[in-house]
Structure 1
Amino acid sequence: MHHYKLVIFDWDGTLMDSVDRIVFSMQASAIALSLEPPCYQQAKQIIGLSLPKAIKTLFPSLHEAQIQQFTEQYKHQYVEVNTTPTPLFNDALELLVNLKKENKLLAVATGKARAGLQRVWQASDTEHFFHASRCADESISKPDPDMINSLLKELNIQKHEAVMIGDTSFDLEMAQRAGVDSIGVTYGVHDNEVLSKFQPRAIVDSLAELHQLLLNTAVKL
């Protein structure tokens, strides 16, 4: 897989171990607004969508004003109340360093809002690795291919020169709809069975395995 010029990463559940904090913040937001909180698995399954779309999926009866209220409550819970650590996954930094050494273009396509991505970039000191990014509040939510299509256009990359890395069906469906290759990772949100439905080039169980796949020319798919 040495031929890709552009590697597009999802963020939550792919590079950063933030699933628990997202789930707990979603549950706390529901309780604060006197709604029945989703169970852990229910809340986990919507990670990757834009926040309004995720809220609408979990609480389909809410109208727009309530969704906006929930959005503000979630931001409060995630940023100011919840203290669950959100470290980079083991081997994430090494992977980014070595991809950069190989002169790969790196990008992020995330369900986070721009302010959220900037905050975690600053906390993890990783912004300098990435040539471009797309966030949910400035693009159409996954699994629409808008994020990938606009990244390809900005970076002047052809579809066959790019690969999308993600831990959810939303990431892989987005790639499939954009006509680019994808690699699924199972250590985040969705498992092998769910990810395989979108015909990724590979599915890996760790970032170490992904590192070998992307940078070791001896690995063949």
Structure 2
Amino acid sequence: MPIRYKCIVIDHDDTTVDSTPSIHYPAYLDFANSVMKGRDYKILSLQEWYRMLWDYDYFEYIRDVMKLNKEEQDLEYKLWLEYTATRHPQMFPGFLEMLIEYKKQGGIVCVCSHSHAKDIKRHYEEHNFIPDEIFGSVRGHPELCKPYTYPIDTIKEKYHLKPSEIVVIDDLAPGFTMAKSAGVDAIGVLYGEGHELVEDDIKKVCKYVFNTVSDLSNFLLNPVEP
């Protein structure tokens, strides 16, 4: 019997690897505590950080809400690059095993993330697993990544897939927006730390929502009747 979806398009941060609490949020805190002192700005909690990422494009947030000038934006970006280059997030327990089994069953594994492709590739290489496709963030070219449909459009054309054969797995709005615009299913995941303020929104926009990697794995790998 065939697998439920021929292709999964998985987010990286906080879907595959437990990275925001250990990399992205600490990088933000480091910058905010050093640069934003004395300004009319409230530093976000981890939960508020996810809420912000749900509501805003991050670059618009640092420009319009944090009111960073170009020099400060470049400094923030440089600090984030240092964190992502030197810290190594762990995959959520059971996620790698799920991907290996999914590939064994003939599935296509694609990654779509706002992290850089080279960092995503490095994380996977540390686990001796390489996805079929990686769509990372390209600074200055947001149209090449979510929430735009370029990744899904490329996958459909290259692998000759119908929308019903693809599912997006993510924890934040850009991935779900991409899925809706491309006409593919979306799965929301809540096993990462800090999603309390976006949980209800995830449940509203996703066809399926899972609280554990085990439940996600059972769903994806469970064969369906032809």
Task: State the TM-score, normalizing by the size of structure 1.
Answer: 0.82
Moved more, 3-12 or 68-77: 68-77
Preserved contact between residue 163 and residue 182 of structure 1 (Cα < 8 Å): yes
Asked if the contact 1:38–1:58 (Cα under 8 Å) also holds between the matched residues in 2, the reply is no
Per-residue Cα deviation, 1:96-120 (whole angstroms, up to 9, x for no partner): 1110111011100111012221222
Structure 2 gaps of 5+ residues are: none
* Structure 1 counterpart of 2:116: 113
The residue that corresponds to 2:136 in the other structure is 135
Q: Does 1:211 align with 2:217?
A: yes
Instruction: Give the TM-score normalised by structure 2.
Output: 0.81
For the aligned residue pairs, the C-alpha RMSD in angstroms reads 2.7
Describe how 1:18-29 pairs up with structure 2 within 5 A. 18-21=19-22, 22-29=24-31
Distance in 2 separating the partners of 1:163 and 1:25: 31
- Tell me the residue number matched to 2:72: 66
3-state DSSP of counterpart to 1:163: strand
Distance (whole Å) between structure 2 residues aligned to residue 94 and residue 144 of structure 1: 29
Secondary structure in 1 matching 2:146: coil
Q: In structure 1, the residue corresponding to 2:44 is in which secondary structure?
A: coil
1:33 counterpart letter in structure 2 = V
Structure 2 residue matching 1:125: 3-state secondary structure: coil
Choose which of 99, 102, 112 in structure 2 pairs with 1:99.
102
Query: After superposition, where does 1:1-221 map in structure 2 within 5 Å?
Result: 2-21=3-22, 22-34=24-36, 37-46=43-52, 53-60=57-64, 61-80=67-86, 86-127=89-130, 130-137=131-138, 139-140=142-143, 141-188=145-192, 190=195, 191-198=198-205, 200-217=206-223
Displacement of 1:79 after TM fit? 2.8
Q: Indicate how the Cα distance of structure 1 residues 64 and 58 shifts in structure 2: closer, same or farther if over 3 A, else same.
A: closer
Give the distance between the partners of 1:120 and 1:108, measured in 2 at CA: 12
Within 2, Cα distance between the matches of 1:152 and 1:40?
35
Alpha carbons of structure 1 residues 9 and 103: separation in structure 2 relative to 1, 3 Å: same
Distance 2:108 2:146 in 1: 21
Evaluate the alpha carbon distance shift between residue 109 and residue 14 of structure 1 in structure 2; reply closer, same or farther with a 3 A threshold: same
SS at 1:16 equivalent: coil
Q: Structure 1: where are the runs of 5+ without partners?
A: none
Q: In structure 2, what is the Cα distance between the partners aligned to 1:46 and 1:118?
A: 27
Amino acid at match of 2:102: L
Question: Structure 1 stretches (4+) deviating beyond 6 angstroms?
Answer: none
* Aligned residues of 1:183 and 1:203 also touching (Cα < 8 A): yes
Q: Percent identity?
A: 20
Q: Tell me how far apart the structure 1 counterparts of residues 32 and 159 of structure 2 sit (CA, whole Å).
A: 40
Alpha-carbon distance in structure 2 between the residues aligned to 1:192 and 1:217: 28
